[in-house]
Chain A
Amino acid sequence: MDKMDLILINHDELKYYQELVDSKAKINSNETLANAGQYHAAIAMSKLLDETKTIARMVVGSFDGRVSNQENYLGSLRSAIEKDVKFQILFLDLPNTNSKAFKMLLTAKKAGKPIECKMANNSLIDKLSKEGKVKHFSVFDNNKYRFEKDTENYLAWFSFNDLTNASTLINVFDTEFPDSKKVVC
């Protein structure tokens, strides 16, 4: 837990951040929102998953658990899987087999849910590491996205309704996903 997260927890800001994200999701806001720290990241990701109806495209690290093991994140992931949302996931690093989210995806895949997980090709890693630090992103349906520019501090932009940025990220993802051969789940 870093200093920033301690500040957030101590000042009861998580509650207000959650309310802010909920209110933006409710009105399908096209504003670009900001996201800092692992707890805010879990709030944003879980709300984006809640709002997803058909497909989630995700470029992730390894599911190290700091976000993906949080209860709200897992709850929303479970709901999305139960709603038969299609998951296409590209891992930049080998998946963490202890991750609760990864285990949930594996179980769901075995149960016949539409889930595909692959290792990313170097071409994608190069694209996402142009400025030195690798970036992650997720696109939900065709209008929601989260773009993590700093994966160590979980600093990201996200929006519930931005077709332009979402379609740019979908282009990147859809170019790479079919060419990625190594299946991990």
Chain B
Amino acid sequence: MEHLYHLSHFFEFLCGAYFGGGALLGFIESALVLKIRPPLTTKVEENEKIRAAAYDYFEVFKNKKVRDFRLLDIFPLLASSLFNLADFISTGSLSAVNSFLQTLGPKGDDKEATTLLKRYFPTFFFTGFYCLFIVLFSAIQEENENASWRIGINWFFMNFTVGAIVFQVWSLIVIPKWVNRRNYFRILSIGILFVIVTAIISAGFAFFNYRVYYSEYLLSEHHKSLCQVLVVVVSVLPLIYLLLLTVWVLIRWELISTFYNASAWLFIHRASLAARKQINEINN
């Protein structure tokens, strides 16, 4: 645990980020509402238009006798398959992103609190304390050579880290769907209870010598780097989650647009050749 002392500044920074999460999430939310929502609405309408056109292209293309099919006709059929695939994926994606964005922004009397803050407050709050405990306990260990204190803190911290992983997965995936004060009270009560129970168990192991050696084993010199990586990952998990969520939405969004545009291009390219050929046939 004392190995983390030299990372104190990093964890102090994270503490600031998590406890100042309201400002951070408010900034993200404002950016989403102001910069993403209008173009999203336009893009949804553009895609609807392409969808309406694609349906007609496919109907006109497929209206052909089998003997008249040429190898190049595979392109509009391929475009149609790609389009339908993209359409299937995008219907859910677009409506999810759209309905998410529609929920953002101040509502009624609740002008100060943002929706993102409400959704991610528990995980930010919990992880902020996690980082604060790292700073405090690593400093205590650094200054205090007492073996029992050292073991107790190690125990507490290993249990706390394992619990933090469980809590974060829950708070990032499940809690955002339960946004209301009563649920927050329950969640925080469970969190505080968890910390107290962990502290008592850890103290028991440390002071009454009920040693199970995994904490000593994991916190040995040999596993120092592994533990540091684990703690750092847990401490930045909410930020990584939000980052990955954003990247995932953007990649999915771009892929869908590419699918739409590629299918539309294939349709239009083949349509102009097909129309020219059919019109020339009546003139010959």
Chain A residues packing against B (C-beta within 8 Å): 4, 8, 13, 16-17, 19-20, 23, 31-37, 40, 127-128, 130-131, 135, 137, 147, 149-150, 153, 155-157, 159, 162, 164-165, 168-169, 171-172
Contacts and interface: CB of A to CB of B under 8 A. Distances in A.
A34 B279 contact: no
A20 B63 CA distance: 22
A155 B59 contact: yes
Contacts of B53: 17, 20, 33-34
Contacts of B63: 149-150, 153, 155
Given A157-B275, A165-B279, 9 more contacts: A13-B55, A16-B48, A33-B56, A34-B53, A34-B56, A127-B282, A130-B281, A153-B63, A171-B283
A107 B281 CA distance: 36
A97 to B, nearest CB: 28
Contacts of B65: 131
B229 interface: no
Nearest to A31: B268
A137 B280 CA distance: 13
B280 A157 contact: no
Contacts of B60: 34-36, 149-150, 155-157
A169 B51 contact: no
B276 interface: yes
Interface in B41-100: 45, 48-53, 55-57, 59-61, 63, 65
B115 to A, nearest CB: 29
Contacts of A35: 56, 60
Nearest to A169: B279
B275 A16 contact: no
Interface in B266-284: 267-268, 271-272, 274-276, 278-283
Contact of A23 (B49, B61, B271, B272): B49
Contacts of B61: 34
Interface of B: 45, 48-53, 55-57, 59-61, 63, 65, 267-268, 271-272, 274-276, 278-283
A33 B49 CA distance: 12
B282 A172 contact: yes
Nearest to B272: A32
Contacts of B281: 130-131
A36 B283 CA distance: 24
Contacts of A36: 55-56, 59-60
A19 B274 CA distance: 24
Contacts of B55: 8, 13, 36
Contacts of B276: 164-165
A171 B281 CA distance: 13
Closest 8 CB pairs of A and B: A36-B59, A157-B275, A20-B49, A34-B56, A17-B52, A32-B272, A34-B57, A36-B56
A19 B282 contact: no
Contacts of A165: 275-276, 279
Nearest to A158: B275
A19 B268 CA distance: 17
A165 to B, nearest CB: 5
A27 B274 CA distance: 23
Contacts of A20: 49-50, 52-53
Contacts of A147: 275, 278-279
A39 to B, nearest CB: 11
Contacts of B279: 137, 147, 157, 165, 168-169
Given A130-B282, A157-B60, A169-B279, A34 B271 contact: yes
A58 to B, nearest CB: 15
B271 A4 contact: no
A13 B52 contact: yes
Nearest to A172: B283
A32 B51 contact: no
Nearest to B53: A20
A40 B56 contact: yes
6 contacts: A17-B49, A20-B49, A20-B52, A34-B271, A131-B281, A165-B276
